[in-house]
Structure 1
Amino acid sequence: MARQYYKESGDIEGTLRRLPRHLIAERALLMSLKKSPGNYLQALRAIPRTLRMMYVHSYQSYLWNHAASSRVQKYGSNEAVVGDLVIFQGSTIETAETAINLECVDDSIENNSDSLNELCETNDPTNENIPVKALTLEDIASQIYTIDDVVLPMPGSRVIYPNNDVAEVYSIMAKKDGISLTGSPHNIKEFSITSLTGSYRQVFQRPIDFQWELLKYTDAHVPLAETDLDKITKAKSLIEAREKDAAVDSNITRVNDEKDVNVSDIAEAEATDLLKSHTALKLTFTLPASCYATMVIRELLKTSTSVAYHKTLNEKYGS
């Protein structure tokens, strides 16, 4: 409603009164424009830096996700191919990220474009210290590298791209969005992909410490595993709470349709339903940063993780 009001009226003061306080970015933009009308660059800089960087990081991940999907569609998931990027044998993904410093934007130079330009000019994507290479026919024949070694870049000024068709995914999608991956057409590097040095992520990750267990249960409302909060607070389990409530209410009666109904009879009927046994799969594993358990479950069970699909499950089995 506030955005529609601003679109129709252009009234910043009135929009700020209507805008919820948790919309930090929007309020920062409007307050800056109120102070300096027409200065849109200053308005963008009024957004907290961590939030501004999140926008750029999100776009990096967006490109990476599409590139990873394209890599699997074009070349499968069984082996490395010519042109794939890999971390040198003996190095690690952490070594590669340390070598390229992850970001060249620093709080101390946040609003100093000259210093920022000088810093980013040192970001040479051909830097020989970065332990990443594109595979050749000789590398494939040697069978030194496997699919587990394949990485893809998070776009930035100090990364290299695959030497195969996957590289085109980055350039095509960025061009479609009007984004340059190699320069700063507006000369404000703070708001460019090139303000970040970039990083690398492995395309495939294998969970470690993997364990599984089949559990039988009858009450869908009772947790099957302790949460971290349970372990910290040592809170009573829901089973104990339900037993206590049942003991207090066991002698209470209520009137329904002008007939006395004993709660214990209701509890007995519910207990009959609870005796129906269900089976649950409990998984325990460890993943590195930037990996998600939902993706592991999707690959194991071969089921969708979309919101729409899980809504159908809720409708079918109940929440």
Structure 2
Amino acid sequence: MLRSPIAKSLKNIKPFLKISSSLKPYSHLPEMSMNSVEESQVGILCYISQLPGFRGILKQRYSDFIVNEVGLDGNVIHLTTLDSPLEIAVEKKVEVTDLQDRDYTKEIESFRVLAGDSDVEKLKKLTDQVVSGVINDDESIVLSPSSEKSHRTAVHNFFKERMKFLVTDTVDGPDSSSKCIRVRINSGSNNGRGRNSRKRKNRDDKPYDSRGSDSSWPENLGKFLRFHLYKENKDTQEALGLLAKMLGNKLRSFGFAGTKDKRAVTTQRVTVFKQRASKLAALNEKLIGIKVGNF
């Protein structure tokens, strides 16, 4: 009776239980204190070769998985400090008295490129009131309607760059397809949003929208604060959602390269829009499983 090649090869296989002690697998490894499962208990009764085996540990805790983001420069992101940098410069508000006795003829003539004669006259009248010191905090002018967003953006940028003592916002125009730009003096007020502010019905009396204005944010601070986010056993969205809630911000004000594993200890770089490092660093005392630093 002929035997197949497979049957001949199986003849040389030695049973697991008959292997001599000198060739016993794992004999070169230290004894482990944990209870391990023997091969015979899971149906492994023999080896094809007499080479020593190996042991392994199945990692299950989130702390067994360390994930660090790698920057574009090739450096691995780590959290090394929780301290916030010192803010040297101090914000200085524009006072009306500082604007008196100044000549804005050149700026007004430059504005003529973007607007018509009627809008130029409105701006000239407003600046004359500022220079003379006879002006109310709620004094404003509304420019002619414009249906082109690019033109309105150019007007907003003009006041940001050339006449910083004035702030602008956008209000509804006479029809649904157009918008108007409203201009007022930057008095540092609450923009009509206080408790005692009255309800406004007319277009010119709407509360001021300061989203496009940088007057309330110090020029020495960048618009985006970059920091390192360290988290344990939490999803990136969950961690940033908690930070946003504690800061009174929206989740969309944060920016990051991608979500990191939840069941892991991860460190990644994050940016946030218009936030002070000192305010963010103060949250470390209240956070559990989350730390921020390296501002």
TM-score by length of 2: 0.21
| Higher relative contact order, chain-length normalized (CA < 8 Å, sep 6+) | 2
Which protein is richer in helix relative to its size?
1
Larger radius of gyration: 2
TM-score by length of 1: 0.20
